Amino acid sequence: MKYSRLTKEQFEEMKQEFINFLAAQSITAEEWDGIKKNKPKAAEQELDVFSDLIWEGVLNKVEFLEHFSANQIYLFHITEVTIHLIAIKIEHEGVDLTTRKGYSWLQTNLLDESVNIYTSSKVLSDDRNKDIFALIKQGANITKGDLYRYFDNMVESK
């Protein structure tokens, strides 16, 4: 398995896609029930293959990720070959960026000397999706990139 198995809830949401996946392999509902009952390892493998297919489809479309911690925000823009990072680090006691109050503080105090903004870029490995998945496993969330673009414009205008 290249990524991770979808959760039970995710499988429930993807029920029709999973049915189509089985149908593409000429596996009927009755046959699937038999596989689950009589060949649990084969059933597990099918779940893993389906999960990887879904992850591949999602990861292929990812352009932006965000990761928030108490005193840092990491904003990623991912192209086909590079990953661009904007990191915002707060060195102010009592500010927690994962809270509404802390985030509001940042919005009001962007120019405060305790707010540091860094940028970086690097070339992705040969497996772009695996690089993206590693960031997601560390807590990054897929976004539309609004926050990245906001800070990118701010950094460019400095």
Is 56 among the domain residues?
yes
> Can you tell me the distance from the alpha carbon of 77 to that of 61, in angstroms, rounded to the nearest whole number?
12
- Is the domain of 71 the same as that of 56? no
- Is the domain of 84 the same as that of 152? yes
Is 1 among the domain residues?
no
What total of structural domains would you count in the chain? 2
pLDDT at 156: 77
Report residue 139: phi and psi, to 5°.
115, 0
- Is the domain of 57 the same as that of 72? no
Mean pLDDT across 137-149: 95
Mean pLDDT, the chain, whole residue set: 93
- Is the domain of 54 the same as that of 127? no
- Is the domain of 12 the same as that of 47? yes
- Is the domain of 95 the same as that of 50? no
- Is the domain of 70 the same as that of 139? yes
pLDDT at 157: 66
pLDDT at 155: 79
Is 81 among the domain residues?
yes
- Is the domain of 98 the same as that of 143? yes
pLDDT at 2: 92
Is 118 among the domain residues?
yes
- Is the domain of 57 the same as that of 68? no
Query: Which pLDDT band, with edges at 50, 70 and 90, does 158 fall under?
Result: low
Q: Which domain holds residue 51?
A: 8-61
pLDDT tens digit string along 89-112?
999 888 999 999 999 999 899 888
pLDDT at 9: 93
The two beta strands, 72-78 and 115-123, are unpaired
Is 2 among the domain residues?
no
- Is the domain of 40 the same as that of 75? no
- Is the domain of 74 the same as that of 148? yes
82, 86, 84: which is closest to 123 by C-alpha?
A: 82
- Is the domain of 72 the same as that of 149? yes
Of the candidates 33, 61, 89, which is a domain's last residue?
61
